[in-house]
């Protein structure tokens, strides 16, 4: 199981919701929601240099609510690099284990069966840093495979979220939330050198 790219970043997002009339427009701030880490999963590369993506990867990231009121999310749509098929899988307290960041194998499926507490709604209480969101990068196009081999990392760093009141916002992070990287000599050297 690989865990890298520990990134702490705030998702400072303004959400606009409307009341019964234009005079009762409410502005809601979700700047208290934070992803406490980002994860990147290595994918094997065969002897010819081709990516062996298999069934994809799964990654869980811990979220926190540093505000004073609970945040309830009713939908998450990850927005990733072109050519990646990414979906939200569920949320977990990880009391029964967590998939962390790994390739999507039968072992990962069994882990998800034991650990996913639910899909929606996701309620993050104040100080609720004990909630993990689990995502799967399940497919990669031929073009994105070439991009991945050249760039050495692809993933998603933004998502469309919908709150219980129906308001929506695009949340953006300065780095990847969940990413995939080739386990190739070139990319390992690039990661080690920090370029």
Number of domains within the chain:
1
Q: Is the peptide bond before 121 cis (omega within 30 degrees of 0)?
A: yes
Region of residue 168 (left: phi > 0; alpha: psi -120 to 50; beta: else): beta
pLDDT digits (tens, 9 = 90+) for 36-58: 778 999 999 988 888 888 899 99
- Report the pLDDT value the prediction gives residue 128, as an integer from 0 to 100: 67
Give the 3-state secondary structure of residue 85.
Answer: strand
- Which of residues 194 and 64 earns the better pLDDT score? 64
Inside any domain, residue 193: no
Inside any domain, residue 113: yes
**Domain harbouring 47, CATH code:** 2.60.40.10
Inside any domain, residue 2: no
The CA distance from 120 to 72, in Å, is 9
| Banded model confidence at residue 10, pLDDT cuts 50, 70, 90 | very low
Instruction: Give the chain's mean pLDDT.
Output: 79
Is 80 exceeded by the pLDDT of residue 30? no
Is 90 exceeded by the pLDDT of residue 174? no
Inside any domain, residue 1: no
Q: Give exposure, 20-47, as e/b (b: 16+ Cβ within 10 Å).
A: eeeeeeeeeebebbbbebbbbbbbebee
| 38: containing domain | 9-183
The CA distance from 38 to 159, in Å, is 14
| Banded model confidence at residue 8, pLDDT cuts 50, 70, 90 | very low
Inside any domain, residue 195: no
Burial of 10 (0-12, 13-18, 19+ CB in 10 A): middle
The CA distance from 163 to 150, in Å, is 37
Inside any domain, residue 105: yes
pLDDT digits (tens, 9 = 90+) for 75-92: 999 999 999 999 999 999
């Amino acid at each position: 199981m690989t865990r890298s790219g520990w990134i702490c970043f705030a998702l400072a997002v303004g959400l606009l919701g409307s009341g019964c009339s234009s005079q009762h427009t409410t502005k809601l701030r979700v700047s208290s929601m934070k992803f406490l880490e980002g994860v990147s999963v290595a994918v094997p590369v065969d002897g010819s240099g081709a990516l062996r993506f298999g069934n994809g990867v799964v990654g869980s990231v811990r979220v926190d609510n540093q505000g004073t009121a609970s945040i309830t999310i009713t939908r998450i749509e990850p927005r990733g690099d072109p050519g990646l098929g990414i979906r939200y899988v569920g949320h977990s307290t990880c009391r029964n284990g967590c998939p962390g960041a790994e390739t999507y194998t039968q072992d990962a499926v069994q882990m998800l069966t034991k650990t996913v507490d639910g899909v929606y709604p996701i309620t993050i209480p104040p100080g609720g840093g004990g909630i993990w969101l689990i995502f799967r990068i399940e497919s990669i196009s031929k073009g994105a495979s070439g991009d991945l081999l050249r760039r050495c990392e692809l993933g998603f760093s933004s998502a469309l979220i919908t709150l219980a009141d129906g308001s929506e916002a695009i949340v953006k992070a300065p780095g990847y939330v969940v990413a995939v990287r080739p386990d190739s000599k070139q990319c390992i050297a690039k990661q080690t050198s920090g370029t």
